[in-house]
Amino acid sequence: MKKMAFIPCRRNSKGIPFKNRKKIGGLSIVEHAVSFAKSSCFDEIVISTDDEFFLQHNDLGKLCVSRPRELGSDTAIIADVMIDFVMSLSERTFIVVLEPTAFPRASNDLDQILTGKVKSDFNFASFSKTPVLREKIWNFNEQPFVQKSVWKRRQEYDCQHVLTGHYYGFWSDKVEDYYPGLVSTDHLTPFFIDYPYIDINDEKDLIVADELYREKS
């Protein structure tokens, strides 16, 4: 069974221009994802990008596959990128997507998952406990406003989790079945992130990421 780390790396971003080139502790956030992948038991590491900075990079360039320009736009979703990519594969491959903006990762996160046999219908995704309960979220796009919340004491709410970008694991021939997502609720194995992390979307998040890196170091 071939196991591949797939690192999506779009050229530009609305929140932070050229976000994937930004550095934390001397390494770009893409290099941090690559470093993690190298510490895990992957057979291959792929960086999917439309950014010439990475395509022409002395070290990272050899890991890069060029994605069509339209798949680097704001309207493209990662599932579109995956469907385009898996068409180039010659064998069934278990792919783990590592979004560079999910920072940091623990070096031993995937040890138990990737060192054993991965079943043919296996898929997994990373989750963290959400600080905001969905019953507390209101949508003000509707008129008139409709109260959909169920009022309870906080202790009475079910424990709720949110997807993170740390890991999405699936077989290459299942991508179209899961579209527009990357995993299915059927046979889904949740992986819980129980350490502090940040999803990097703006300059303030970069500052938090740098602080987390310093604490970890």
What is the domain extent for residue 72?
2-216
Q: What is the pLDDT of residue 146?
A: 63
> Distance between CA atoms of 73 and 103, rounded to whole angstroms?
23
| Number of domains making up the chain | 1
Residue range 70-75: mean pLDDT, rounded: 85
Q: What is the pLDDT of residue 136?
A: 75
Is the pLDDT at 151 greater than 80, yes or no?
no
Q: Does the predicted model carry a pTM greater than 0.75? A: yes
Q: What is the pLDDT of residue 131?
A: 82
Q: Residue 185: which CATH number?
A: 3.90.550.10
> Distance between CA atoms of 144 and 137, rounded to whole angstroms?
16
Four-point Cα dihedral 196, 96, 47, 1, nearest 10: 150
The per-residue pLDDT for range 176-193, each reduced to its tens digit, is 999 999 999 888 999 999
The torsion region of residue 76 among left (phi > 0), alpha (psi -120 to 50) and beta comes to beta
Strand ranges (E), 106-173:
123-129, 161-171
